[in-house]
Amino acid sequence: MKKIQLYLILLALVGATNVFAGNPDRQGEAGANELLFNPWANSAGLHSMNTSSIMGVAAMRLNVAGISRGYNKAMISIANTRLYEGSELQFNALGFVVRMGKTGALGVSLAAVDFGDITITTKNLPDGNGGTYSPSFYHMGVGYSYTYANKISVGALVRIVGESTSNVSALGAAVDAGVQYVSGEKDNFKLGISLRNIGTPMKFGGTGLNFRGNNPGNNTNSYQITFQHRAEGFELPSLLSMGFSYDYYLSNSMFVRGLANFTSNAFSLDQIGGGVEFYFRDLIVLRGAYRYEIGATSIEENNLYSGFAGGFSVNVPMSKKNKNKLALDYSYRTTYRFRGTHNFGVRIII
C-alpha cells in the first residue's frame, strides 16, 4: 500500500508540469524573490540543478525529499553568500537535519538577507537625514522526508516568509514538495522532481503606508486626516524542477556524475541546463554547470545567473575511527551584471 501511495505522489508531481509554463507576460510580477536565492555552495556550484541528487540540509532549498539522504545521524550547515559582488548584499543561512527512525528525517532551516545600512532619505532631505535602516527579509522552513526501501524518497516542507522595515511588513507561507528515485547497482541513476514556493499571496501593510492630508470636499472647515495607501498583493515565485543524474565509476573511490535539469517558472522564462561533478576518494568534489533560459532574445531578458557556475567541496575527516566529516564548500556563479556571486559554506556531517 505504501508503495502505491509513493507512486501516486510521483505521478501527481509529474502532472503538475501542465500547470507551469514559462510565461514572459507574467515575468517580474512575483515578489519575495529571496525564495529563489540558494545559500548552499554545494548546490549553487551546479546552478541549483541537482534536483535528483541533492542531499542533506541543502535539499530543503531544492528538493525536500533529499533531506533523508547523505549522512548517518545528522548534518549541520552554515552558509554565507555574497550576492552580486559589488552590491554589498549578503544572504546568510543556517540549517540542520536529523534522522527520525530508520527511514525518516526532520529538517529546519533559517535564512535572511543582509542589506547593510541604508541611508534614510525623505522628501525634504533627499540626501539623507543622518540615520540608517536595514530591511528584514527572512524565511524559516520545517521539512520532513521519508525513504521507502532505499529507493524512493518523498518529502514536504512548510516555510514562513517575512519582509519588513520598522513600519511596513508582509507575511506569507509557502509549501514545497519533492520526490527522488534511486536505481542501479551502486545507486548510479537518480531522478528528482520538486515543486516549490506554492503559497499564500503577500501584501504589505503598516503605518509606513499612511500619510496626512487635508479633508477632501470641505473648503470652509479645512482640517487634516490620515490616509492609507492600499498596497497591491503579490504572488510567490513558484516553480517546478525535474532532473536526472548518472554516476560513472572510474574506480571504487572515484566517479563522475553527469546531470541535467529543467525548471518551469510560473513568473519567468523556463530554464534548462546540465552539469558535472567529480568525486575523488570522498575527500574532494569538483563541480561545474551551465544553464540557459529558453526563449530569451537578448541578454537583458536573461536571469542574472544564466551561464556558467562552478565550485568545489573539501571533506575533512574528524577522526579515524568514524565517518564524521567537516566539509568546506565554495561556489561561484557568473552574472552578466555585477561581478558574480560567491557562496561559502561549512557542513558538519555526523
The secondary structure of 298-328, three-state, reads: CHHHCCCCCEEEEEEEEEEECCCCCCCEEEE
Q: How far apart are CA 93 and CA 254, in angstroms?
A: 31
Q: How far apart are CA 147 and CA 179, in angstroms?
A: 10
Q: How far apart are CA 343 and CA 80, in angstroms?
A: 6
CA 49 → CA 27, 169, 240, distances in Å? 21, 32, 12
Delineate the domains of the chain, giving CATH numbers in brackets: 2-349 (2.40.160.40)
pLDDT at 233: 87
Model confidence over 153-189: pLDDT tens digits?
999 999 999 999 888 999 999 999 999 999 988 899 9
Q: Residue type at 63? A: N
Model confidence over 96-131: pLDDT tens digits?
999 998 899 999 999 999 998 888 888 888 888 778
CA 70 → CA 33, 135, 183, 298, 310, distances in Å? 28, 35, 16, 40, 21
Q: What percent of the chain has pLDDT over 90?
A: 59
Q: Residue type at 183? A: S
Across 242-256, average pLDDT: 94
Q: How far apart are CA 227 and CA 64, in angstroms?
A: 44
Q: Which helix (H) or strand (E) holds 33?
A: none
pTM of the predicted model as reported, rounded to 2 decimal places: 0.87
Across 325-348, average pLDDT: 93
Across 301-329, average pLDDT: 85
Buried b (16+ CB within 10 A) or exposed e, 280-293: eeeeebebbbbbbb
Least confident of 58-67, 70-79, 130-139, 292-301: 292-301
Q: Are strands 210-214 and 325-333 parallel, antiparallel or unpaired?
A: unpaired
Cβ proximity of 162 and 170 under 8 Å: yes
Q: How far apart are CA 13 and CA 196, in angstroms?
A: 11
Between 125 and 25, whose confidence is greater?
125
Cβ proximity of 66 and 145 under 8 Å: yes
pLDDT at 335: 87
pLDDT at 1: 44
Mean pLDDT for the chain overall: 87
Question: CB neighbours of 269 closer than 8 A, spacing ≥ 6?
Answer: 22, 24, 27, 293, 294, 295, 296, 301, 303
Between 231 and 4, whose confidence is greater?
231
What the block records as the C-alpha cell of 208 is 509606513
pLDDT at 131: 84
Q: Are strands 74-83 and 341-349 parallel, antiparallel or unpaired?
A: antiparallel
pLDDT at 299: 57
User: Residue 267's pLDDT band (boundaries 50, 70, 90)?
Assistant: confident
Return the closest-CA partner of residue 97 out of 112, 77, 79.
Answer: 77
Q: Looking up cell 539522504, which residue turns up?
A: 69
User: Residue 325's pLDDT band (boundaries 50, 70, 90)?
Assistant: very high
CA 108 → CA 60, 87, 159, 220, 313, distances in Å? 8, 29, 10, 61, 22
Residue 191 has pLDDT above 80, yes or no: yes
pLDDT at 27: 61
Cβ proximity of 56 and 71 under 8 Å: yes
> In this structure, what DSSP letter does residue 167 have?
S
Residue 19 has pLDDT above 50, yes or no: no
In terms of average pLDDT, the best of 111-120, 219-228, 301-310 is 111-120
Q: How far apart are CA 113 and CA 122, in angstroms?
A: 24
User: Residue 202's pLDDT band (boundaries 50, 70, 90)?
Assistant: very high
Q: How far apart are CA 197 and CA 176, in angstroms?
A: 6
Question: CB neighbours of 347 closer than 8 A, spacing ≥ 6?
Answer: 42, 56, 57, 75, 76, 77, 325, 326, 327, 329
Cβ proximity of 268 and 238 under 8 Å: no
Show the CA angle centred on residue 267, arms to residues 258 and 200, nearest 5°. Answer: 105
Between 28 and 317, whose confidence is greater?
317
Least confident of 6-20, 51-65, 204-218, 325-339: 6-20
Q: 3-class SS at 191? A: strand
Between 299 and 121, whose confidence is greater?
121
Q: What percent of the chain has pLDDT over 70?
A: 89
